[in-house]
Structure 1
Amino acid sequence: MPKWAEHYRKLKNPKGGYSGPWRHDIAPHLIEPMNALSDPSVSLVGLQGPAQSGKSDIGLNWWAATIHQQPTDFMICQPDKAMMQDFVVRRLEPLIDQHRVLKEKMLPGGSSDNIFLKRFKGMLSTHIWPVGAQFRARPVPWGWLDDYDDFPEDIDGQGSALSLLEGRQTTFEGAEKTYVSSSPARDGGGGIEAICEAGSNERFHWRCLIAANIFRPSSISSSSLIAKAAWMMLNARRIWSVRIMAASSIRHTKDRCFCRRWLYPIMVGCSLIKNLATTAR
């Protein structure tokens, strides 16, 4: 899927922001989640991160690549009906219109292109919200639960959205795949945090932009995380999960990053010497 995005995906932001072909160098932290969604041995991918950190673009790339190269029935669930309708109009339909390879896959006829259902060659894309009846009688192998922490924890007394989706995937055991994306919003570490905590807590380390060495932030908590990646077998499922921290909260660990101990003092010292020399002249 990362190769598909790099080759086909175009970004269009007429009111500001980057427009042009997809570039992995702009958001390299999105590559591994996309690789996980492409891995047939992984059945659940969880992604926790702040708003506007690329979580939805991973899902959109997965959805588009599926339509184009591997048609598979697909279900997208948003927190409520209004958000689902807005998501289809604001994100899915422009994505189709901007990519000829997707438009060519859509079946003709008005019934093939509406808010709740889009029909492509070899594939149905169903768009729902977390109500028990929406999951009923809809077997589907692949599903995306977006903004998961805004879903009810228990839907109409039938369990979580994740458990309801898993119930729709039972006939596709071994070929099912779920993507859960969200910013953390539940107290007590439930929701997306619980999904991520199911992993082995491997950390994705970032590179210092000044010293160029790899470092880990000095504070790791549910509200300030750079990234936390995990692979594990849980209930016979291989789960990949990652947490992403807002860049503004990145802090160096004093004993881990060279620039904190040496480079910063040197830079400050050079600045003071330059100022003194300017004053003397």
Structure 2
Amino acid sequence: MKISLARSALAVIAGAMALAVTPPAPLPPSAWAGENLVVPDGPRANERWDRALGLHCVEIVDALGPDSLENEIAVMKSAQTGFTTVLIISAGHSIDRDPCRMMIVQPTSGALSDFNKEKLQPAIEASPALAKKVRGVTSRSAEGSTATSKQFAGGSLTLAIASSAADLRSKTIKKAFLDEIDEYPDDLDGQGDPIEMVEARQISFLATGDWKRLKISTPTVKGASKIEAAYLAGDQRRWHVACPGCGDRFVFEFDRKHFRFNDEHPYQAHYVTPCCGTIIEGHEKNAVYRAGEYRPTATRPGVGRSYHFCAMSSPLVPWDEIARKFVEANGDPLKLKAFYNLWLGLPYEVRGDAPDHVRLMERRESDMTRGHIPPLGLILVGSADVQMRGIYYEIKAYGPDRQKWIVDAGIIEGETNDPHAGAFLKLAEVYERAWPDAYGGYRRVDAFGVDSGFRSHVVYTWVRGRNGAFALKGLDGWSRPALGTGTAVDIDFNGKRIRNGVHVWGVGTWPLKGAHYDDLRKEGMKAGQERDPSGYCHFGTWLDEVYFRQITSEYLANENFRGRVRRVWKVRAGEENHFLDCTIYNDALADYLGLSRMTTDEWATLASERCAPEVVKRPDLFSPQPLAVQKPNRPDAPPATDGAETGDVDERTASAGGDSFWDEY
């Protein structure tokens, strides 16, 4: 029997080979994600990416696809708006359909580890299209993936940190995804801007024009924010929604004229449209969002795309939550900065002009006694700034609404090259002193910080073994926390390495200085107001002009740095800033102890312990975290010296008794 085939064997084989090498049909990254990407976290964790909750991401991820002519995109956004998924979608789409060499850059090693462990790797493992292409991390082959390198046919995905020059200079890449760029250092180990280092990795693709670069971040401070600069350099696209009443397009803004809510619970947040006054209730927000679209607001020739998106438009964030966070900020500059950055996706404007020191002197209060804790001074901290032949110090008290009182300040004269003699011996007396309060009791400081920037080894030795004593170091930058995680130092006074030695705690001085000046500008009853506002600072008449000149000695200046303007604090010519350093360190310690986090009930508990008469105090009672209550000091502790000259220390305080709460542990 003779069998005749419609196609020859050669044709069948050729067709199969052609099918194998034929590239897949074009599929935009957003469509690919809807079909393939399993989201690792969020409201739809372990489900395929839901386009309905990420409409504001669609245009951005598609612009990063291989069929788009766009090269560079900047996104200025608020927190928790789903843009981390943009990184995963863009990388995942490339792995599956456009393999090449890519890099994702995170600001720190901790952020990189969290991103890989909690987001990227789970998404790869849960998404079949990626799991079958990314080589396993357990592969014994040198071509296997690792925690910081995902290997696949035709390319790789490198995970790098912005603080490692070795990471950023490692290889040529076609696509770069830079996350949270406002947290990148301005200069990496003297080798340049980390963003420029990444851009240099893409030079080889400039001629072909198929390179991609995404910059994404929550902003920090106006004029100093890297993502703000990138956003302003683009066409500034914003999410425009249609008014349900008249159909006009507008952007949801945080504007009390249009965004209205009660100043206490229930907030009943709603929006009044600027076009025709139609009221949009909170539960109607998502329906309005789904009809939105990006529109450029600063079109001009030659600019790329840039986007701004915030919680006001996000389907993931209820308006009542935005209202609550604003109300809870209560005028606190640090909380307002966080609100603008994390909830509105906007840079916070810091006023860099110092208040006039003469005006501050005019509001000194004659009823404040030097060395005495005021009635509402529930938290008591102290700080010192070490110089070559003397130590500046300040003792500061804080109340429930962030009001502040300077309890004592002065200069301890003497040599500072020996932690057991000279000025440090007298500083120990200040640290150990029991300060009289308004209720007949005595309290020592809850925490005491010493600047370790000068004579570091001496400071480490002095701090070592003293409960509640911190070796501090001021750090530049607008994204630094008030008090960061302590870093172990293991060198003793003789220069020998020791285990479990002193920790140095970094202080984010730049945001704290902005908040300090904001609070100094507030006017209270001395200026004719009905009450002293939250954050108001009280000064006694015993404080002299030197003190006031120093706490207002710096200003916020524009500085040209490697071709870019940045905002930095500078000391005015001819002035000194030692007392400013002390008061900023005190603010950091107070924040660490819970000044801005304690609830009304926690403050009430603390007040009942520290303000009650001695006969009803209970030594075994502790306040809620984060601040533990001091044990009451014995009632026979000697009073502090009133009206002492600057720099004088009461010799009796060293033996005055009165344990701080640190001694409870």
Task: Name the TM-score class by shorter chain.
Answer: 0.7 to 0.9
Aligned-pair distance for 1:53?
Answer: 0.5
User: C-alpha separation between the residues in 1 aligned to 2:96 and 2:76?
Assistant: 27
Q: Find the structure with the greater CA-based Rg.
A: 2
User: C-alpha separation between the residues in 1 aligned to 2:299 and 2:135?
Assistant: 38
Aligned-pair distance for 1:71?
Answer: 0.4
- Pair 1:69 & 2:97 matched: yes
> Which residue in the other structure is 1:35 paired with?
62
Unpaired runs of at least 5, structure 2 = 1-28, 260-291, 313-318, 324-665
Aligned-pair distance for 1:184?
Answer: 0.5
Aligned-pair distance for 1:105?
Answer: 0.7
Q: Deviations over 1:104-139 (max 9, x none)?
A: 112362441211212111111111111222112411
- Pair 1:123 & 2:155 matched: yes
Match of 2:241 among 206, 216, 219: 206
User: C-alpha separation between the residues in 2 aligned to 1:200 and 1:133?
Assistant: 34
Match of 2:231 among 196, 206, 210: 196
Task: Write the mapping of 1:52-201 to structure 2, written as runs, cut at 5 A.
Answer: 52-107=80-135, 109-110=139-140, 111=142, 112-130=144-162, 131-173=164-206, 174-201=209-236
TM-score, scaled relative to structure 2: 0.34
User: C-alpha separation between the residues in 1 aligned to 2:134 and 2:99?
Assistant: 11
User: C-alpha separation between the residues in 1 aligned to 2:112 and 2:244?
Assistant: 38
Aligned-residue Cα RMSD (Å) equals 2.7
User: C-alpha separation between the residues in 1 aligned to 2:48 and 2:219?
Assistant: 30
- Aligned letter for 2:309? I
- Pair 1:4 & 2:32 matched: yes
User: C-alpha separation between the residues in 1 aligned to 2:100 and 2:204?
Assistant: 14
Aligned-pair distance for 1:239?
Answer: 2.2
Deviates more, 1:65-74 or 1:2-11: 2-11
Deviates more, 1:98-107 or 1:110-119: 110-119
Task: Write the mapping of 1:237-252 to structure 2, written as runs, cut at 5 A.
Answer: 239-247=304-312, 248=319
Q: Deviations over 1:169-208 (max 9, x none)?
A: 0111112111111100244143001001011335431234
User: C-alpha separation between the residues in 1 aligned to 2:161 and 2:199?
Assistant: 15
Q: Deviations over 1:137-182 (max 9, x none)?
A: 4111111111111111222233322211110101111121111111
CA contact (8 A) 2:237 2:306 kept: no
> Which residue in the other structure is 2:49 paired with?
22
- Aligned letter for 2:169? R
User: C-alpha separation between the residues in 1 aligned to 2:87 and 2:100?
Assistant: 14
Change (3 A) 1:157 1:209: farther
CA contact (8 A) 2:40 2:119 kept: no
User: C-alpha separation between the residues in 2 aligned to 1:17 and 1:210?
Assistant: 31
CA contact (8 A) 1:142 1:178 kept: yes
- Aligned letter for 1:97? E
Change (3 A) 1:160 1:233: farther
CA contact (8 A) 2:236 2:305 kept: no
Change (3 A) 1:157 1:233: farther
- Pair 1:50 & 2:78 matched: yes
Residue aligned with 2:80, SS: coil
Deviates more, 1:186-195 or 1:160-169: 186-195
CA contact (8 A) 1:55 1:182 kept: no
Residue aligned with 1:188, SS: coil
CA contact (8 A) 1:231 1:239 kept: no
Residue aligned with 1:18, SS: coil
Unpaired runs of at least 5, structure 1 = 251-281
Q: Deviations over 1:236-256 (max 9, x none)?
A: xx6211011212469xxxxxx
User: C-alpha separation between the residues in 1 aligned to 2:300 and 2:154?
Assistant: 32
User: C-alpha separation between the residues in 2 aligned to 1:158 and 1:228?
Assistant: 38
Identity of paired residues, percent? 25
> Which residue in the other structure is 1:261 paired with?
none
> Which residue in the other structure is 1:276 paired with?
none
User: C-alpha separation between the residues in 1 aligned to 2:198 and 2:301?
Assistant: 19
Q: What is the total number of aligned residue pairs between the two structures? A: 241
User: C-alpha separation between the residues in 2 aligned to 1:232 and 1:135?
Assistant: 32
Task: Write the mapping of 1:210-229 to structure 2, written as runs, cut at 5 A.
Answer: 213-217=248-252, 229=296
TM-score, scaled relative to structure 1: 0.76
CA contact (8 A) 2:62 2:68 kept: no
Aligned-pair distance for 1:11?
Answer: 2.5
User: C-alpha separation between the residues in 2 aligned to 1:202 and 1:97?
Assistant: 34
Q: Deviations over 1:28-69 (max 9, x none)?
A: 111111121125421111111111111111111001111111
CA contact (8 A) 1:231 1:240 kept: no
User: C-alpha separation between the residues in 2 aligned to 1:176 and 1:45?
Assistant: 12
- Aligned letter for 2:196? S
Aligned-pair distance for 1:85?
Answer: 1.7
Change (3 A) 1:98 1:216: same
Change (3 A) 1:218 1:134: closer
- Aligned letter for 1:84? L
CA contact (8 A) 2:100 2:174 kept: yes
More helix per residue: 1
CA contact (8 A) 1:30 1:58 kept: yes
